[in-house]
Amino acid sequence: MAEIYYRKLWIKIISVTLGFSLIPLVALGVTIYYQFSVSYSDKVYENLRTLTENRRSSLDLFFEERISQLVTIAHTHTLKQLSDEAYLDKLFYTMQTRSRSYIDIGVIDIEGRHRAYIGPYPELKEVNYRREDWFQAALSSGVYISDVFLGYRRFPHFIIAVMSRSGDQPWILRATINSDIIDNIVRAAMIGKNGDAFLINKKNILQTSPRFSGEIFGNPEGPDFSRIVEAQVTAYKINGKSYLFAATQLVNTNWILVVKEDPREQLTPLLRARTIAFFLFLGGILLIVIGAYFTTRSMMRELIRVDRERAAGEEMVIQSSKMAALGKMAAGIAHEINNPLAVIGEKAGWIKDLLADENAGSTENLKEIEEAVEKIERHVDRAKKVTHRLLGFARRMEPILEQVDINRTLRETVEFLENESRFRNIRIHIQSQPDLPVLQSDSSQLQQVFLNILNNAIDAIGKNGEIRIRTSYLPASNEIMIEIADNGPGIPKENLGKIFDPFFTTKEVGKGTGLGLSIVYSIIEKLGGRILVASEVGQGTTFTIYLPVR
Amino acid sequence: MAEDYTILIVDDEEDFRETLVKRLQKRNLKAFGAESGPKALKLMEAMTFDVVVLDVKMPGMDGIDTLKEMKKKSPRTEIILLTGHASLESGIQGMELGAFDYLMKPVNLDDLIEKIRQAYERKLVQEQEKS
């Protein structure tokens, strides 16, 4: 019962302790993690947006520069000037020294024919562009940038064409640019191992060669950004994996820059922080749990100890008042018996005195009478011993120091139990060292000690057995050793540590208070001695008491 | 040693008292009996006793009160307390009041006579010291 009560109490205490420690910790952890992950995700989105815008600016700047260069040349020269191939060659050379992006340059008149051409493909001079889309578009809008195409050259390139006029005659300055340059600028936006970046046109056709998202002139993997009007960042799943895509429209062309990012790579620091935080959190919880466990355990142990002590104290008070009442009764009975015993003794003595005066042989029965009187005297003496012992036990005194002969005290105690042991056929042997030193101790308390141990031994044996008592003096430690051994059933190992605990009993309910051995222990301790127990199941139990000789 | 000392046995239990007196007398001791404290005190006015054997528990005036009165009347008389009761307090109290010793009933006659002799010896020693 008590164990269940203490267990429930312990569970309550540990639950409250853990609850009050863990709930705020968990709440704090979850809140911090949530806030951290939200702001970190925001930061990842923002970074991607910024990166994409930076790349867009670089591309725009590139186109801006090329267009300005060509526009400047077209508007500061006449058709006639630029039709001079030697002059154009010089000009192209100058342009090439600043930027290697140009493949060739050509001047085309309104009829679509080359007036001049500088570049690695002189055969192009014979081509007429009048019906080409880019030619018409350049004439109508003034500046035209084409999509990337393979064309006659069989490698990806695009053209920039600007229109100018000499008098009424419009003409076109056209330059071809290797799209490797664009690829290089775009590639700088590829982040991490799985990141990608590419340009698409308004038909969602790839204008550059991405790392993973498809082939140039094909459709890219992922969402279609060809119709976006403003920059956007969006999450998209490919093969079950989530990616972030940012897209933005270039200013000078119809192209759209798309940057793809693996959020797991970008979130690595966050994930690492989360793992560290998780383990710290786990460690914290573990520490709290361990701390709570040990603190509450020791609290409970202390509580149980205090409870037990208090209960033992109360029980001792009850026990001693019971003993006091019993003592009074015993003393009363002893007194009432002692008086008639005294009369019987005296009368028997008187008969003996009188018989001594009679002539020997004067009565045949004289010898018989003498014997009878002797027996009366002997039994009065025996009864006297019983009443005196009863009185000795009834006396509950404060511990006093007196001269104690251990052998005599043991003998008296054994005599007291003689009837009980004879009835149960238990033989009690005393093997005492005759010249034991006299102890300064309390004989009635020691009697109680021996009585409790012997009573337990008799109870343990039940019937038919023996108890061996041995006393000896140990000069080395100046102690008297008293050994009380029975051949009873013995004490199981798991109980051996508890037998001196108050209220520990293996006797039936109502038969034992569980106080006997605890009283023994406290008396021996009070008298400055010590008590040891050794037991073997099936062999018996031996109590060994050591008392100091002062 | 001369055994001409007088002994007074004070006990309310007649059978015990009378028999004890007779047994002492049979051993040539001058023993007398009294059934109560007041009777004993009255007897002490008539004659001197060397040793009194006094029962502690008696109806009316008990042994302790009797002891006090006796010590007032005849301080040199040695008194041995005798009781069937094991109350150590009354024994200690009696010793403090000047009793020679304290014996428990039933008492072995030889032990009692020995105790009476010791008491008488002490009385003699004390009387010699005084004179």
pLDDT digits (tens, 9 = 90+) for A277-286: 889 888 988 9
Please compute the mean of the pLDDT values over residues A188-200 and round it to a whole number: 86
CB contact under 8 A, A342 and B57: no
Sorted by sequence, the CB contacts under 8 Å of residue A350 that are 6+ apart come out as: B19, B22, B23
DSSP structure class, residue A148: P
Cα→Cα distances A43→A39, A147, A243, A439, Å: 6, 34, 15, 89
pLDDT, position A508? 66
What does the alpha-carbon distance between residue A300 and residue A315 come to, in Å, rounded to a whole number? 22
Q: Please tell me whether the peptide bond between A210 and the residue prior to it is cis, using omega within 30 degrees of 0.
A: no
Residues A52 and A259 sit within 8 Å (Cβ to Cβ): yes
pLDDT, position A395? 53
Closest CA–CA distance from residue B17 to any residue of chain A (Å): 8
- Put simply, whether A384 touches B (Cβ < 8 Å) is yes
CB contact under 8 A, B15 and A343: yes
What are the start-end ranges of the H helices in A177-223? 180-187
Could you tell me which residue, A495 or A426, shows the higher pLDDT? A426
Residue A502: phi, psi to the nearest 5?
-60, 145
Alpha carbon A451 to its chain's center:
52
pLDDT digits (tens, 9 = 90+) for A429-475: 999 888 889 888 878 788 888 988 998 899 889 889 999 999 999 99
Closest CA–CA distance from residue B10 to any residue of chain A (Å): 14
CB contact under 8 A, B86 and A342: no
**Burial, B105: exposed, middle or buried (Cβ in 10 Å; 0-12, 13-18, 19+)?**
buried
Residues of A in contact with B108 (CB under 8 A): 381
pLDDT digits (tens, 9 = 90+) for A299-324: 999 998 888 888 877 776 776 666 56
DSSP, collapsed to helix, strand or coil, labels residue A235 as strand
Q: Which pLDDT band, with edges at 50, 70 and 90, does A164 fall under?
A: very high
Lowest pLDDT segment from A99-103, A377-381, B1-5: B1-5
**Average pLDDT taken over every residue of chain A:** 86
How crowded is the C-beta side of A533, counted as CA atoms within 13 Å?
22
pLDDT, position A511? 58
DSSP structure class, residue B55: E
- Put simply, whether A327 touches B (Cβ < 8 Å) is no
What does the alpha-carbon distance between residue B124 and residue B126 come to, in Å, rounded to a whole number? 5
Residues A389 and A418 sit within 8 Å (Cβ to Cβ): no
Strand residue runs (E) in A239-393? 241-249, 256-261
CB contact under 8 A, B84 and A339: yes
- Put simply, whether A302 touches B (Cβ < 8 Å) is no
Could you tell me which residue, A327 or A290, shows the higher pLDDT? A290
Q: Which pLDDT band, with edges at 50, 70 and 90, does A113 fall under?
A: very high
**pTM greater than 0.90 (yes/no):** no
pLDDT, position A198? 94
Nearest chain B alpha carbon to A385: B106
- Put simply, whether A344 touches B (Cβ < 8 Å) is yes
